[in-house]
Amino acid sequence: MKEAELVIVGAGPAGLSAAIEAAKAGVKVMICDENQRAGGQLFKQIHKFFGSRAHQAGTRGIDIGQNLLNEVEKIGVDVKLDAVVWGIFSDRRVGIVHEGKNTLVKAKKILLATGAAENVLAFPGWTLAGVMGAGAIQTMVNVHRVLPGKNVLMIGSGNVGLIVSYQLMQAGAKVAAIVEAMPRIGGYAVHASKVRRAGVPILTSTTIKEAKGKEKVEKAVIIKLDDKFKQVAGSEKEFDVDVICLAVGLSPLAELAWMAGCKFTDVPELGGLLAIHNEDMETTVPGIYVAGDIAGIEEASTAIEEGRLAGIAIAESLGYINAAAAKEQKQQIYKRSDQLRDGPFGIGRRKAKEVLISRSLKQ
């Protein structure tokens, strides 16, 4: 059986950042991603990111992704693309199908950085062609440069719904409206203002009632919700659209952590059931770490910090960095992460992370 010091599953911002830190310290890293290109979600994000200079604020997601890839290449990490990790077995054996061939690798440490999966919403007509996930639309529009339709109804006003609406307009589509079941807009006001002044209505306390069409979406019917989230009969409105985009949240993609026997806990603020991890990002199974959206739905900026943290902690536990040096680097990461997890949108996530970590102490 092949052996590796560190196998990282997922080459998004979290996985790549961990690979960079660990490899810099001397760890021999293998990073696997199922796609043909590394970078995870970043190559769909063509907008400028928030944060401070230390978090590459003002830089577009695609360029942050390219910077990470350049660094990975410079350090010479073993990046395996078209490599699906399908199982984690006892003694940290990792089952990989790489370019169609099945291999088993025994790792000293494993980092799961698999990101998140999109939530779906079922409603009459939701299986019609033209009802698509926000991630699918971003992939088609920003990566493959094809519009899935010309008139779009967006479901969900979180940052994803707002940003994808803006990106659809940049690509030349019209966004008929953004509907939101809650009585207030979910995402940042600056993102909302951008689409509003481009003429897109954001309809709060509203949901999709039905998608109509023979085989593909031809119309969308929306309806008002009262303060108990009950549909208000007679308040329907119809839009002529050919695409309905679902942007109704993300959930951690944690099957591999289940398989590995990690203990889970429910933390709604971070997207639901999460593998419990400690301050080093290590789960309840020794030697198995998590970082990024799998460890709580947040942002690329926080995913990068968590990846770095895991990379350093792993290098330390393998003896490549001494405790004092590791401690100093970790302190800086904690500080930068706290900066991001602050303010009305972030403080809840910081508290939730603290709860998650405190639960690891009880194990």
Partner 1 sequence: MDMRIEEHPILGTLKKGKAVKIEVDGKPVDAFEGEPVAAALMAAGKTVFRYTRKRKEARGVFCAIGQCTDCMMTIDGVPNVRTCVTAVKEGMKVKTQIGTGEDGDTSK
Partner 2 sequence: MTLIKDGFFDADELKILPGVPSEERLKKGPVVVIECAQQIPCNPCEEACLKGAIEIGESIVNLPKLNADMCSGCGLCVAACPGQAIFVVDMAYSQTEATVQLPYEFLPCPKEGEVVAGLNRAGEKVCDAKVLKVLAPKKFDRTAVIKIAVPKNLGMIVRNIQLKNSDKED
Ligand X SMILES: Cc1cc2nc3c(=O)[nH]c(=O)nc-3n(C[C@H](O)[C@H](O)[C@H](O)COP(=O)(O)OP(=O)(O)OC[C@H]3O[C@@H](n4cnc5c(N)ncnc54)[C@H](O)[C@@H]3O)c2cc1C
Q: Give the binding site for partner 1 (CB under 8 A).
A: 34, 46, 60, 117-118, 127-133, 135-137, 139-142, 144-149, 170-172, 214-216, 242
Name every residue whose Cβ is closer than 8 Å to that of residue 361 and which is 6 or more positions away in sequence.
278
Give the span between the Cα atoms of 199 and 186, in whole angstroms: 19
Q: By C-beta, is 13 or 148 nearer to partner 1?
A: 148
Contacts of 325 (CB under 8 A, 6+ apart): none
132's contact among partner 1, ligand X, partner 2, none, with CB below 5 to 8 A by partner kind, is: partner 1
Q: Which does 5 bind (CB under 5 to 8 A by kind): ligand X, partner 1, partner 2, none?
A: none
Which range, of 1-9, 10-18, 67-75, 188-196, touches partner 2 by CB under 8 A? 188-196
The only residue of 27, 131, 163, 288 in contact with ligand X, by rule CB under 6 A: 163
Minimal distance in Å, beta carbon 240 to ligand X? Answer: 25
Site for partner 2 in 57-76 (CB under 8 A): 57-60
Q: What is the CA radius of gyration of the chain?
A: 21
Query: Which one, 50 or 278, has the nearer CB to partner 1?
Result: 50
Footprint (CB under 8 A) of partner 2, residues 11-40: none
Rounded to whole angstroms, how far apart are CA atoms 208 and 223? 6
Residue 288 contact among partner 2, ligand X, partner 1, none, beta carbon within 5 to 8 Å by kind: none
In this complex, which beta carbon is closest to ligand X, that of residue 65 or of residue 125? Answer: 65
Classify the C-alpha dihedral 173-177-183-189 as positive or negative.
positive
The continuous run of DSSP H or E covering 300 comes out as helix 300-317
Binding partner 2 by CB under 8 A: which of 44, 109, 191, 308? 191
Residue 56 binds ligand X, judged by CB under 6 A: no
**Among partner 2, partner 1, ligand X, none, what binds residue 45 when CB lies within 5 to 8 Å by partner kind?**
ligand X
Contacts of 25 (CB under 8 A, 6+ apart): 311, 312, 315, 320, 321
Comparing CB distances to partner 1, the nearer of 2 and 48 is 48
The tokens describing 205, both together, are 């306390």
Residue 222 binds to partner 2 (criterion: CB under 8 A):
no
Helix (H, G, I), strand (E, B) or coil at 83: strand
Q: Which of 2, 216, 345, 358 binds partner 2 (CB under 8 A)?
A: 345
Query: Which partner from the list ligand X, partner 1, partner 2, none does 303 bind, CB cut-off 5 to 8 Å by kind?
Result: ligand X
Provide the mask over 281-310, with x wherever binding to partner 2 is found by CB under 8 A and - wherever it is not: ------------------------------
With CB under 5 to 8 Å by kind, the binding choice for 193 among partner 1, ligand X, partner 2, none is partner 2
Residues 6+ apart with CB under 8 A from 300: 12, 13, 41, 42, 45, 49, 61, 64
Does residue 270 interact with ligand X by CB under 6 A? Answer: no
Q: Which residues of 108-144 are buried (b: 16+ CB within 10 A; e: fewer)?
A: bbbbbbbbbbbeebebebbebebbbbbbebbbbbbee
Angle CA 88–70–296, to nearest 5: 45
Contact 48, 59 (CB under 8 A): yes
Ramachandran area for residue 75 (φ above 0: left; ψ -120 to 50: alpha; else beta)? alpha
Q: How far apart are the first and last CA of the chain?
A: 32
Contact set with ligand X (CB under 6 A): 9-15, 32-35, 40-42, 45, 47, 49, 84-85, 113-116, 138, 159-160, 163-164, 253, 292-293, 298-301, 303
Contact set with partner 2 (CB under 8 A): 47-53, 57-60, 169-170, 172, 174, 183-185, 188-200, 202, 204, 339-346
